[in-house]
Amino acid sequence: MPEMPDMIVMAAVTFLGMGMLTPIVKLYAVEHLGLTETGFGKLVAPIAAAMGVFAVPMGRLGDKYGKCSAVCWGLFGSALAMWALALFRSITVAGLAGIVIGIGFITAFPAWNALIVSLTTPERRGEVLGSVGLAQGLAAIVGASLGAFVYASDVLSFPRLGVVNYNVPFWVSAILL
């Protein structure tokens, strides 16, 4: 923590936001987008395919333009897509946003890990990477708990603004990203 507090905070905030969606994504798709189990699989398949197809090219772009640029662009694209999910309730938007978030993740995450290990001495790389990984994991666990709680309650709902319990985790995730 003392060596890279900013990196640990950024990792925790980002994974808190993404973790909020872990327990509710499928519920949201079934309950509010009207998808069936098969329909959800059909929605996720192109997202997974896009991630597979773009993994190597996005990694090469990250190498070409730098780790910091790859992290920034990956998070920026993911944040924009998350705002689209928060604002619009549509299967098409969900599918396209999922693709953008997936590509943003495969762009940012490897560059993020490379950036972290490049900012410390070789003797401390494992320790620093482990500390950041711990922050990411704990934040994802807390995010999953919060996301499920918020999704199931009206604590943060503002119906007149179009912010209701089932889309609040998307709003919070977008803000955190």
Whether the full predicted model's pTM is greater than 0.95, yes or no, is no
* Burial status of residue 162 (CB atoms within 10 A of its CB: 0-12, 13-18, 19 or more): exposed
Dist. CA 160–CA 148, nearest whole Å: 22
CA dihedral 8, 106, 126, 138 (to 10 degrees): 40
The per-residue pLDDT string of the chain (177 residues; one tens digit each, 9 = 90 and over) reads 667 788 899 999 999 999 999 999 999 999 988 999 999 999 899 999 999 999 888 888 888 889 899 999 999 999 999 999 989 889 999 999 999 999 999 999 889 988 888 888 888 888 888 889 999 999 999 999 999 998 888 877 777 777 778 888 999 999 999
3-state secondary structure (DSSP) of residue 116: helix
Cβ proximity of 168 and 17 under 8 Å: no
Angle, helices 5-19/168-176, rounded to nearest 10 degrees: 160
